[in-house]
Structure 1
């Protein structure tokens, strides 16, 4: 009598080894979703920080623009006689520069004049400029530009 040995146990071992290889060959759905969630979280934090940094940079640029314009008016008034004025309007994101007959409309991207009344600064040859310029952002940050003894303006953050 010939004894027949079934090949089933050996095949079972091969099939189970093949199944184990298939399981470890890729990522599970849970792992993919977890990694995507982590990437999304890090991206949202980065975008928020980048947006805030860009907004603050724009504020600094606006402040430097106002400061440079006021220094230009002061220097022009010392150099030659004429009518030199700077006018700010309540809650507006622009101001006017007047140099004799020339009027320039200067816009601000993030800052607005927060005074309650219109402010007009007059730059005369040997007279000090008086007046405080208050600028603010929609986020609530406030800046003041104050004239110093030399007639130039300095930025103070509140």
Structure 2
């Protein structure tokens, strides 16, 4: 099934990132594993907090790597906030960096790099990044639509 075939989209219309994300989450994780549902928010927040605790255990509670990477994904938000009409809508030039930095692919790449290089600091960075994404999803923040609004 392609994102174009999602039942909430108009026939022939291309689904946006938010619809494709919801579709993928429903297909592979089952109902409830989405940051739009209360159970999914609790699960996302639990994953995020667990990642932060694991990072603090692995790198130390005062680890600069952990806390820097736990805040780093929001650099895209700061990048676009100056020109944003409000927090609810990001400028178009900041949407792609925001979505990329808030993608689980970034911590996955950090975990893969940590496994290859056997670097504890890189693993801590991945845990900090994953913690940020999980807590964001727990509070209902996910990818942005192409026009900069929240999904």
Please indicate, yes or no, whether the TM-score normalized by the shorter chain is above 0.5.
no
Larger helix share, 1 or 2: 2
Larger strand share, 1 or 2: 1
Higher relative contact order (CA 8 A, sep 6+): 2
Q: TM-score, normalised by structure 1?
A: 0.27
Larger radius of gyration: 1
